[in-house]
A and B are shown apart, each in its own frame.
Chain A
Amino acid sequence: MNPVFFFVAVAAGLVLAGLLFWALRGSSQRKGYGAGSAAVEHAPRDLNHMPQIRQAMDASDLEFAKAKAGLQLQTRLRRERRQVALLYLAAIRRDFEQSLRVARVIAVLSPEVSSSQEYERIRLAMIFRWRFQMTKARLLMGTIPLPQLLSVWQMAATMAVQMEETMAKLGERAALAAELALQSEK
């Protein structure tokens, strides 16, 4: 046997065994898909306060603080804003993951799925996670303008809201269909 193949095969066997345990972890605690909308719990927050948040993140505010109260206040403000920006970045990720979760619910409850669409979503999610980490690194270095970050978050949050509304409608429709079926049986 080729020695390279031997080591690759041994590594593959060990990886497969490890994946078995990892994939099965928490499997019995997963919720069922009896009612589609029940799988979605978290709604995005603070979308209505967007103009105020945007204004608070404006770069001219920092200049104003520096002119009025000096460099120390400007530095403190900048640090605090970075913390806020990190929180918003986390919110972008949360909303993105939420949208992905809803998409998975739709897929798993469909009698047919398209492999290309499913593959595309996995690819997009991987790209997103990579870019998310890059953005976080850049944010920590202070090289990302905060208002732009807010625009991205607004988009992620709007998407999550739309997805949840769609799921709620689907849930209502499913409940209605079940009720009609029950009535016709009587």
Chain B
Amino acid sequence: MSQLPISALIIWGSATALTLFLLVQIFLLRAHEKYRLFTAYLCTNLLQTAVGVYLYRAYGFKTPYAYQVAWTTQVIVVMGRGFAAAEICYRILGKFKGVWGLAVRIFIACGVIALISTLYFGARSYQLAVITLDMSLEAFIATCIVGLLLFARYYAVPIEPAAGMIGLGLGLLSCGKLLNDLLFERHVQSYQGAWNFVSSGAFVGILLLWNWVLRKPATHAVQEPQLNRVEIYQSLIPQVNLKLLELNRQLSHLLQPEPPKP
């Protein structure tokens, strides 16, 4: 443990304390029933810290074994965050079955494009493969969350403040980690010390946000929607689109120069 700088240890300790505090709040307010996967993600984070402490005590900070195990736990944590993000997406948009179905198709397509392009263009060496995989997963999560919030904005879907802030936190964490990993990959030697510090610092910031949002039970309940029959959509929307098309045509005619008068 003595190999780590004191500032990194302080941030690490703060993150652990804040995670514990958040988990206690979640269980006291029974929010774990609502955000099961998010709670599981926080627990995974705590477990990762415990494993990290054991590894560094038993094997030291720079041994290959500690490195491999630490990165394996990191992949599990990122996947846990991915599941938590999926849960938040479902909580926000899942009530609207039709739009949710469409959103899932689009998010998965966009997320897979982000994942593949990061894996393809980002790979430089096998040593940095784990960082590249981490970046790909972060890009996938960030794209999905941003896509969800854009969808919610376009369809004017109301969002519970807690779900919105958890989503914002997960998305910001993924964006921050993506940028951090990119800098690490480009400036491996000079950035190595700062990488851990920035990563943990961002996590502490997000934990403070989540602690603040989940400090009291949710009072702002989102109204349950009453869905129509599918035939209504099938009969109305093509007509609407046709009318919009016609309106566009009229506007286009308006823009055309008038023929000269005889």
A interface with B by C-beta (< 8 Å): 1-2, 5-6, 9-10, 12-14, 16-17, 19-21, 23-24, 27-28, 30-36, 39, 96, 99-104, 106-115, 117-118, 120-121, 124-125, 127-128, 131-132, 134-135, 138, 143-145, 148-149, 151-152, 155-156, 159, 162-163, 166, 170, 174, 178
B225's contact among A32, A128, A132, by CB below 8 Å, is which? A32
Q: Are B97 and A111 in contact (CB under 8 A)?
A: yes
B154 CB, nearest partner CB in chain A, Å: 7
B244's contact among A2, A39, A124, by CB below 8 Å, is which? A124
Give the interface segment out of B26-34, B70-78, B118-126: B118-126
Q: Are B255 and A30 in contact (CB under 8 A)?
A: no
B interface with A by C-beta (< 8 Å): 96-99, 101-102, 105-106, 118, 121-122, 124, 135, 139, 142-143, 145-146, 149-150, 152-161, 164, 167-168, 171-172, 175-176, 178-179, 182, 185-186, 220, 222-230, 232-234, 236-238, 240-241, 243-248, 250-255, 257-258
Q: Assuming the A-B contacts A33-B223, A36-B226, are A170 and B232 also in contact, with contact meaning beta carbons closer than 8 angstroms in the complex?
A: yes
27 A-B pairs, CB-CB below 8 angstroms? A2-B121, A9-B135, A9-B139, A9-B178, A13-B179, A14-B179, A20-B168, A24-B159, A32-B158, A34-B224, A34-B225, A36-B228, A96-B247, A100-B244, A108-B96, A108-B225, A110-B98, A111-B229, A112-B97, A113-B99, A115-B105, A115-B106, A118-B102, A124-B244, A156-B247, A159-B243, A163-B240
Q: Are A9 and B118 in contact (CB under 8 A)?
A: yes
Q: Are B164 and A131 in contact (CB under 8 A)?
A: no
Secondary structure class of chain A's binding surface, majority of residues: helix
B121's contact among A5, A103, A124, A135, by CB below 8 Å, is which? A5
A19's contact among B146, B157, B226, B258, by CB below 8 Å, is which? B146
Q: What 5 A-B pairs come out closest when comparing CB atoms?
A: A32-B223, A23-B149, A110-B233, A113-B98, A5-B121
Considering the chains assembled together, what is the distance between the CA atoms of A143 and B257 in angstroms?
A: 8
